[in-house]
Amino acid sequence: MSVHSLPRATAPEPVHQAKVHLAASLRMAVQDELEEGIDNHFTMKVPGVEGQYLVLPFGLHWSEARASDMIVFDEAGHTLEGRGVVELSAQCIHAPLHRITGANVVLHTHQHWAMALNMLQDNRLISASQTAAFFDGQIAYDDHYQGLASSLEEGERLAACLGDKPILFMKNHGVVVTGETVAQAYRRLYKLERVCRAQVMALSTGQAIEVLSPEVVARVKTPSVHDRHPRAERERLFFEARMRVLDRELPGYAD
């Protein structure tokens, strides 16, 4: 059994596991072409501590992220643990989002296909596929790009736009995806990019898109009583499988 999937009785302590998972998700983003080198940001609340957040210090490429690289920062941008500093927009976007929404994990990217959709005047994700149907009612929209995030007020504005939804589409900018765990948030981010790609490709044909009916969407979103794998387990299994891929192809994230 992988050291990253230990039984509950011998699981690593929460802060270390959070650092491992955050580093792993950054490397996964490189494999999935969701990153921009050293830019954009993934953050997580420090388990058991209010007002403190984990992030990869600015200047490190996501492909080289390690658990031991993670720093702890606060809303004022101070580095409380580790070496390096938090990038300004990460501080200004993520700290208020964590504080106001209560999200444990906040992922912000400029990933290609989601960005392409958010460059359109009509950037709404439509339920035209089984996977897209799962995002029905889960996305908030910020239709007014304000420029570079250089103050906490911008993060507070984005938090107000996000409301109680787990995903924010940022017109002319990118996306924010939140979650209770890194596994949940990253799976959402990964799936979101794939449905955005499918929608942009379908739009590029110039043909009318067949949208699922509300009744079908509701059936897709309703868990089957016969499903042996609840949503949380699917998120965990997905993330553990991806960590095994990293162990083969891009090891070192747990160091």
200-248 pLDDT tens trace = 999 999 999 999 999 999 999 887 777 777 888 999 999 999 999 999 9
Which residue has better confidence, 131 or 7? 131
The DSSP line for 106-138 is: EEEE--HHHHHHHTSSS------SHHHHTTTT-
Q: What is the pLDDT of residue 6?
A: 41
Q: Does 43 map to a domain?
A: yes
Euclidean distance between CA atoms 191 and 10, whole angstroms = 31
CA neighbor of 117 nearest in space, from 192, 50, 185: 192
CATH code (residue 25):
3.40.225.10
Give the pLDDT score at 12. 66
DSSP symbol at 82: S
Provide the residue range defining the domain that includes 19: 3-246
- pLDDT exceeds 70 at position 9: no
Any domain includes 91: yes
Beta-ladder partners of 110: none
Q: Other C-beta atoms within 10 Å of 171: how many?
A: 16
Task: State percent of the chain over pLDDT 90.
Answer: 90
Residue 242, domain member (yes or no) = yes
Contacts of 245 by beta carbon, 8 Å cutoff, 6+ apart: 31
Domains of the chain: total: 1
Average pLDDT in the 35-58 region?
96
Question: Looking at the domain assignment, is residue 205 inside a domain?
Answer: yes
CA 219 – CA 216 distance, rounded (Å) = 5
Mean pLDDT along residues 189-205? 98
Q: What is the pTM of this model?
A: 0.92
- Does the residue 254 lie in any domain? no
Paired with 177 in beta bridges are: 107, 167
Is the pLDDT at 2 greater than 70, yes or no? no
Residue 10: predicted pLDDT: 52
The answer to the question of residue 228 being in a domain is: yes
* Within-domain flag for 187: yes
